[in-house]
Amino acid sequence: MRTREEFIEGLKKMKPNVWMGGEKVRRDDPRFQSSINVLGVTFDLANDPRYEKLFTATSHLTGKKINRFNHIVLTPEDLLKKQMMIRVGCHRVAGCIQRCMGMDAVNALYRITYEIDQKHGTHYHKNFVEWLKYFQENDLVGSAAQTDPKGDRSKRPHEQADPDVYLRVVEKRKDGIIVRGAKIHNTTAPQADEIIVIPTRVLVEGEEDYAVAFAVPGDWDGVKIINHQASVRPRKQWDAPIAHIGVSDGFVVFDDVFVPWERVFMCGEREFGGPLALQFAFNHRHSYTGCKPAVSDIIMGSAALFAEYNGTERVSHIREKISDLIGVAELVYSAGVASAVFSIKTPSGFCAPNPIYVNVGRRHAGRNIYHEYDILADIAGGIPATLPYEEDFLNSETKPFLEKYLKRKADIPVEDQHRCIRMLSDMLCSGWAGVWQVAGVHGGGSPMMETVAILGNYPIQARKEIAKYLAGIKSKDEFENEVEVKEVNEFLESIKVFSEKSK
Amino acid sequence: MRTREEFIEGLKKMKPNVWMGGEKVRRDDPRFQSSINVLGVTFDLANDPRYEKLFTATSHLTGKKINRFNHIVLTPEDLLKKQMMIRVGCHRVAGCIQRCMGMDAVNALYRITYEIDQKHGTHYHKNFVEWLKYFQENDLVGSAAQTDPKGDRSKRPHEQADPDVYLRVVEKRKDGIIVRGAKIHNTTAPQADEIIVIPTRVLVEGEEDYAVAFAVPGDWDGVKIINHQASVRPRKQWDAPIAHIGVSDGFVVFDDVFVPWERVFMCGEREFGGPLALQFAFNHRHSYTGCKPAVSDIIMGSAALFAEYNGTERVSHIREKISDLIGVAELVYSAGVASAVFSIKTPSGFCAPNPIYVNVGRRHAGRNIYHEYDILADIAGGIPATLPYEEDFLNSETKPFLEKYLKRKADIPVEDQHRCIRMLSDMLCSGWAGVWQVAGVHGGGSPMMETVAILGNYPIQARKEIAKYLAGIKSKDEFENEVEVKEVNEFLESIKVFSEKSK
Amino acid sequence: MRTREEFIEGLKKMKPNVWMGGEKVRRDDPRFQSSINVLGVTFDLANDPRYEKLFTATSHLTGKKINRFNHIVLTPEDLLKKQMMIRVGCHRVAGCIQRCMGMDAVNALYRITYEIDQKHGTHYHKNFVEWLKYFQENDLVGSAAQTDPKGDRSKRPHEQADPDVYLRVVEKRKDGIIVRGAKIHNTTAPQADEIIVIPTRVLVEGEEDYAVAFAVPGDWDGVKIINHQASVRPRKQWDAPIAHIGVSDGFVVFDDVFVPWERVFMCGEREFGGPLALQFAFNHRHSYTGCKPAVSDIIMGSAALFAEYNGTERVSHIREKISDLIGVAELVYSAGVASAVFSIKTPSGFCAPNPIYVNVGRRHAGRNIYHEYDILADIAGGIPATLPYEEDFLNSETKPFLEKYLKRKADIPVEDQHRCIRMLSDMLCSGWAGVWQVAGVHGGGSPMMETVAILGNYPIQARKEIAKYLAGIKSKDEFENEVEVKEVNEFLESIKVFSEKSK
Amino acid sequence: MRTREEFIEGLKKMKPNVWMGGEKVRRDDPRFQSSINVLGVTFDLANDPRYEKLFTATSHLTGKKINRFNHIVLTPEDLLKKQMMIRVGCHRVAGCIQRCMGMDAVNALYRITYEIDQKHGTHYHKNFVEWLKYFQENDLVGSAAQTDPKGDRSKRPHEQADPDVYLRVVEKRKDGIIVRGAKIHNTTAPQADEIIVIPTRVLVEGEEDYAVAFAVPGDWDGVKIINHQASVRPRKQWDAPIAHIGVSDGFVVFDDVFVPWERVFMCGEREFGGPLALQFAFNHRHSYTGCKPAVSDIIMGSAALFAEYNGTERVSHIREKISDLIGVAELVYSAGVASAVFSIKTPSGFCAPNPIYVNVGRRHAGRNIYHEYDILADIAGGIPATLPYEEDFLNSETKPFLEKYLKRKADIPVEDQHRCIRMLSDMLCSGWAGVWQVAGVHGGGSPMMETVAILGNYPIQARKEIAKYLAGIKSKDEFENEVEVKEVNEFLESIKVFSEKSK
């Protein structure tokens, strides 16, 4: 496993193919430091003996200790640990820990490449496993590139005026393929050692060229990363961990990029486009059952701390609002736990989180994110919006007045109160906050996408059968034998992990 | 284990102490049949080989097979099975399976009697275990009697104008105690073999007489059950399982009732009043994570069936509403699952569901029950409210018109459509429906009680520490060592059941 | 104007064509008394000097004093008075005052017959005005019959397997027309002197036969009313106004009914089918801005009264919930007021309530009705669901216990508390309550229908122009001249009523 | 009336007493330009003949034409025009028009000074009227300074450790008073010609020194403005009106400031502290019924425009969300309209908006603001969060890719799409956006403050009487005479403006 420093060294060695603010920039540009700080935590904690049981795993490919972010989920336990690792990691970085997308794409590819090979006699899985060993051994950071620009949303990929608005294969050669297109919203793209490309949606006949998956190094020829950086405002005097956090989102262009066959993991097997896109999405929604509770934790912790400083901690409506934040956090977390308990072992060995639970969990998070900020704003009052600048707290003409009038509870140092308010200001009234509000709605799939996934996976017919039985439309015998006994047996099978233990 | 018939025979033998509609009635009064039908299912399924793995358990006291409703929860597996047993049972009876209250009180007493004895050197636990063996051996039905009338809600028990508005010990004798008071909202009281009395709230000094728990047979001297019966409207022609469902709620008066010491499980140990009340409540909220998803299942199944009959199944807003019902059902179910995974082994051996998860789950259910009926009403349209009477469907003057104009999709028999609508009418526009709406809010504790429980059990201080770390108020080292490492280790300990399995 | 007694006399004279529970019944069947009680209030208050300014108006056709329920709305003042009349009337009958549907259909026909004649040179308006004079002079009760059975909801009228599932003209004769079909959910049908039939939806080419409007006496040949009656449970001892309330909903069959031309108000003018249906709907949604606040008033009054009796009136979350009920009531009421202020004078003289405001108001009401019951249930606790029967409060064996243990605040007579709880039980746990919950969602059009109407009437393009201006897509000059100045001028025109006054 | 240019000239002449970022700055510091742009609109439109009917009024003091922002509201018409003026003004500046606070404070003082004088025989009103003439004549901008720092929120003003955390009179002199304290969240403080100080809350005995109101010029001796500036990010290439918008919020210190008596409008009349604070709040909440609908208009216009560009305008869930935004806008607007229709003429002549309606309206706005941003984020997708920088759209290496892949519907110029997205990014992901989210919750009073005001003003007792009547606790006669007839008569009185017109 690498250290944070080795990770940074790696970035410095990469060829410059990142643009920002009109310039081509190096990966150690100071503006990227905030993103590097976040990813650095994933190295620190894996190397810290106090955290390693959660942040590392044993590779089933090599038997070696690896960073859990690069591990294939094989058991319900792996799912539970992944979820908790993310929650803990996110606490440290005031939000997204940023290394999950790669993990979730890797896990989806592990499953789907196996299933393509089973059906088509291809060798994608073998190639992928080789790549994965390299990825694990070198403790690399992967960035999943899924979202195509999509052009006119009322048209399918093959109906677009410009066929490139979904990334596609434009040429197949003996040694590899040429791909053209772009992938947007690629978190960590400028920090990623590897960019892992997968389709964004179900594909229909005639869209074979869009059924493509592969991995290339982040600085590969023809890959162009146009980056958006969102960082918390830096501090001049009252430095704090939150002031060192940020995120890079790359608009990644594939300008006729060559990918050698050993790095191609799907090419034309159209019917697997949807399953791969969805398995990634479901894995990533499972990740959200870890990170979104962490976001709620931070919001509730900040709100509760400020209420304490204000002397309003026991006020009834504030307590109820705090408890609502707990409700969101723990229902979403519960859904992740249930997705582990009712997980599904796939033929490849990959243990898939239950699709119903990851979707109801992620949707609940996405539907509530603005509501959670609403609660935070409600409890925080207007001061995060109008707090004077740090410099005015330093200027001797204004400092005494600001300290005198900012102070709330007498027994709390005004500096702590100031720090708390300044953090609230970052959390509520900064561009960085807005970016995470939007990401809270859309990251991992918008609530509407989860609704579609829920409806697509739920046994709604079995629910109708209950209604038919109760209404007298279906007989008791039929209901029991066709529906209910089956459901009971499936349940008992699912929870065997507990039964075996209890013996 | 008993059969349904043996259970009914038992009821017939009981002394009459039930009043309804101004008369003293026998327990086989035909108006009770709807309640007996519900409880009967708990006997049927335990005796059915297809269901016995879920509906029975092995008594840890006697080693014999017993009805799971009379079992002590000892493992996470038991919690998961209990939850699923309830969900399945409720599907069959269009709602509450009614035997959980007894189970939940028994489990709470198993724990708390043990802890009282540990502290006070009393013998409540031994007495309770003897009583429990008898309860399990004879496959009895227990009714938990918890809710006191409570008088003026702005006053504590000992401040009330009438001290009896909370049930209390009025005399201690050599052979037992005399209790006076009432317990209300006692579901199944007229069908219960045993009435199990526990306190309703935390008690303060001076309220020792209110700290009393015991069990007496349902027809015990001095016990007077004034019953309210809510049954689905009976059918004349279009009989259906839903038309045979009902619930008894007893207003149970304890008119200076003598309880022998061997049936007394707490008497004066004031500080355990709250813990016993809460353990029962938490157990019962765990039960709700099984039954409320079942209610959602029935609502969504009925709504989806009717939408199918109407030709509106693919309509976007209807699909989204169905998915909302799924969301409620499965988030609540998830919370129950998480409460098992993070359950807590108590000194008595009883495995307590995690209090945070049962409370967030039950609260989410309680907050959404009217919303779920809203969705059902929305999809069902106005017809459940204005459907002509069964007799008009039989009268030859009106029948042809009703059949002609009720019909929706051409390929569905109008009889099935009629049956579905009539069930919707029962579900939306009957007194029975109203009773279950109210119970959906208050049963097991209102949302506000769960809010209180959530706030009382949640590690909110640990959340504030995250905020302090991020704001620069607390150092990284302190945060890690005092908060985070501890949380990680506790998590790893909790999920050991999975780790051991995966070895 | 008639008295309540004259109205009842009129009912007795009508030919029996009502079926209920399998029998043909007379209009003075005791089961109808609860409905008659409601409508009777509209006669009582119009004849009461203290209320007549609100409940009567001067006919613009005859110059005579008439019941405002039979008046054509000609000014914003009329709209405001209509709204308030409904709110006051509904207070008296614990919900729907039931005479609005007729009024709203009459007003819609007044406008649309005029516009048809203007376009087609027909004489519908003249005929309608003659009928209306008769209607006003005789102070008749009208029942609007709009909702067709609709068959398969995924098909249009002309696509249905059975063409009669939307009411239609099956023959045109010299002296009149023959219509066949049914109209459902017709509130007050068995109490109505006149049944007023209008289309239910927009009609497309080929659906001319469905474009039909007319009025016939309630006992006209071929009209068959199959009635559903929902009444509050009668009382034995604790009589109360709420126990005398009920509603009739007729499933009205038109079995090849002849309508003479002078009673036909539309026949084949397809393009006016939608406008007539919508004008009725919008008028009726305006009525809802009066009745739904009244329902909220009753719910909040009952909840606040019970909280007072319980000693919980000052509890923070209860106060907040009461204030939420106020919010729903007064926002809906405000929308009605705004629909009057921004009303639209139509060519016929009829003053149409602003369509946007009636729709946002009615939708807000419909979306909140179950939520309001939720609040009521929350504050009421479990007792409405389990309250023992009246007879048990009379039986000397049980009465003392019930009175002892029902009592809450010491200074409130237990009889008042009992009365309050029994009313809550009717409001929450009766079939009548369920009927009004459903009606609260669907009456006047479901929330989804209002959404459609809002989108159809709102100047969303003007809103996009604001965005274009701010984004720099549209110039300031264009924005001002094309959009903003126009909006300002329209506004100033709308509020002239105020300007003139202030001069 | 002044022009925008004269207003700016005025600012330049003021003495420097503003600090920002650690420096004392002049009022023409370029960073203030964004605020000046907003206020400038209030001058432009008043001077524009196309808008003057809405943006000007005739002073009742001088008979001259004045800016409506400086006018005393005397009639319901004034309220309606004020509300619409604000809505129109806000459209132009993408949010708060910023000149309302002063207007609302002026109107509150006009009323309350009159009432103090009536009771105490003081001369505040005369002094105030003189000041007001000067204010109107010179077309000044006023900034209301209400919110005290408040210290420990669990303590009242006189209980605070530092008595200055609420602004107070520290000395009374012959020629005036000396005040000490601070007022925070003072929008437009650095642009205001006059700072108008009023109390923030109800005051109890012993808090006479806190009962103080006055006006001083913005650059008065001892007044120190420490400013926070929130401006939309400036553009380099794609300039747009939204890029020139911003807001100044001053933390205003009163460092022992002398106020001559003719500028003092309350001094020690403790019992009027609450009424003045509330009348300002209610006036300001009335302003919110104009500005918040404007914010919703902008959000919905932007969302609809983007949906059009995306090709998703007809998608069902997007349409429903747009209609939700309309619902929020128009319900809030309706509440303002109702507050005018049911306004209350006060003894001073000032026409007060109805307190119930302004509070239910403002609360509905405040409760929905984050929800509206949620909808905007939902429809906007992830691109506002990750949009590359303007410079990257100019750099020839990246420009062709960005234009190719940003493009949505083929027939819309990519530049327009880019402009739209960049505005969405400002609206969702900028510090300015966060400031307005917070202001949307708290400006004019948080939802909880409105809840308190609603409960304090609503005739809840009259609602209980309805319940008592229906439950049989109160007789019909008593109910009619004591409650209902009174309510009817009050209503008829309120709407006389309409009756008179219709005559």
- What pLDDT band is residue B502 in, cutting at 50, 70 and 90? very low
pLDDT at B426 (0 to 100):
98
Q: Which two tokens stand for residue C9?
A: 């006399």
Contacts of D121 (CB under 8 A, 6+ apart): none
Q: Which two tokens stand for residue B254?
A: 């304890």
- What pLDDT band is residue C502 in, cutting at 50, 70 and 90? very low
The answer to whether A171 faces chain B, any CB pair under 8 Å, is no
- Mean pLDDT of all residues in B5-15: 98
pLDDT at A371 (0 to 100):
98
Please indicate whether, in this complex, the C-beta atoms of A322 and B455 are within 8 angstroms of each other. Answer: yes
Q: Which residues does chain A have with pLDDT short of 70? A: 500-503
Residue type, A503: K
Widest CA span in chain A: 85
- Mean pLDDT of all residues in C428-444: 96
Tens of pLDDT along chain D (503 residues) come to 999 999 999 999 999 999 999 999 999 999 999 999 999 999 999 999 999 999 999 999 999 999 999 999 999 999 999 999 999 999 999 999 999 999 999 999 999 999 999 999 999 999 999 999 999 999 999 999 999 999 999 999 999 999 999 999 999 999 999 999 999 999 999 999 999 999 999 999 999 999 999 999 999 999 999 999 999 999 999 999 999 999 999 999 999 999 999 999 999 999 999 999 999 999 999 999 999 999 999 999 999 999 999 999 999 999 999 999 999 999 999 999 999 999 999 999 999 999 999 999 999 999 999 999 999 999 999 999 999 999 999 999 999 999 999 999 999 999 999 999 999 999 999 999 999 999 999 998 999 999 999 999 999 999 999 999 999 999 999 999 999 999 999 999 999 888 754 44
Nearest-Cα residue of chain C relative to residue B232 = C431
ipTM of model over 0.85 = yes
Share the mean pLDDT of chain C: 97
Alpha carbon distance D261, D267 (integer Å): 10
Please indicate whether, in this complex, the C-beta atoms of A402 and D153 are within 8 angstroms of each other. Answer: no
Closest CA to A251 of C167, B231, D418, C125: D418
Residue of C302, C480, C482, C498 best to disrupt the D interface, most CBs of D under 10 A? C498
B345-364 pLDDT per residue, tens: 999 999 999 999 999 999 99
**A448 contacts in D (CB within 8 Å)?**
317, 378
CA distances from B342 to B76, B82, C251, D359 (A): 8, 16, 55, 45
Please indicate whether, in this complex, the C-beta atoms of D228 and A389 are within 8 angstroms of each other. Answer: yes
Backbone angles phi, psi at B119, to 5 degrees: -85, -40
pLDDT at B498 (0 to 100):
81
Please indicate whether, in this complex, the C-beta atoms of A334 and B330 are within 8 angstroms of each other. Answer: no
Chains touching chain B through at least 3 C-beta pairs below 8 angstroms are A, C, D
Distance of CA D385 to the CA centre of its chain: 29
Percent above pLDDT 70 for chain B: 99
Backbone angles phi, psi at D225, to 5 degrees: -105, 115
**D320 contacts in B (CB within 8 Å)?**
317
DSSP state of B474: S
- What are residue D177's DSSP bridge partners? D172, D259
pLDDT at A502 (0 to 100):
45
Please indicate whether, in this complex, the C-beta atoms of C360 and D327 are within 8 angstroms of each other. Answer: yes
**A321 contacts in C (CB within 8 Å)?**
none
The answer to whether D159 faces chain C, any CB pair under 8 Å, is no
Helix, strand and coil in chain C, % to nearest 5: 60, 15, 25
Q: By CB neighbour count within 10 A (0-12 exposed, 13-18 middle, 19+ buried), where does B400 fall? A: exposed
Q: Which two tokens stand for residue A246?
A: 């940020």
**D316 contacts in B (CB within 8 Å)?**
316-317
The answer to whether A317 faces chain C, any CB pair under 8 Å, is yes
Please indicate whether, in this complex, the C-beta atoms of A438 and D447 are within 8 angstroms of each other. Answer: no
The answer to whether the CB of B255 falls within 8 A of the CB of B182 is: no
- Is it the case that residue C501 has pLDDT exceeding 60? no
Q: Which residue, chain included where needed, has tokens 């001069």?
A: C503
**A317 contacts in C (CB within 8 Å)?**
316-317, 320
pLDDT at B497 (0 to 100):
81
pLDDT at D500 (0 to 100):
56
Contacts of C461 (CB under 8 A, 6+ apart): none
Distance of CA C364 to the CA centre of its chain: 15
The answer to whether D320 faces chain B, any CB pair under 8 Å, is yes
The answer to whether the CB of B169 falls within 8 A of the CB of B212 is: yes
Q: In what order do the strands lie in the sheet with D212-217?
A: D142-145, D194-197, D212-217, D264-267
Please indicate whether, in this complex, the C-beta atoms of A377 and D182 are within 8 angstroms of each other. Answer: no
Strands D223-231, D18-20: pairing is parallel
Q: What is the pTM of this model?
A: 0.97
Residue type, B250: G
Alpha carbon distance C269, B192 (integer Å): 67
Strands (E), D101-193: 142-145, 168-172, 176-187
Q: Which helix (H) or strand (E) holds D195?
A: strand D194-197
- What pLDDT band is residue B503 in, cutting at 50, 70 and 90? very low
Residue of B29, B312, B374 best to disrupt the C interface, most CBs of C under 10 A? B374
Closest CA to D267 of D169, D407, D382: D169
Residue of A317, A318, A322, A324 best to disrupt the C interface, most CBs of C under 10 A? A317
CA distances from A47 to A3, A96, A245, A360, C280 (A): 7, 20, 21, 34, 72
The answer to whether D411 faces chain A, any CB pair under 8 Å, is no
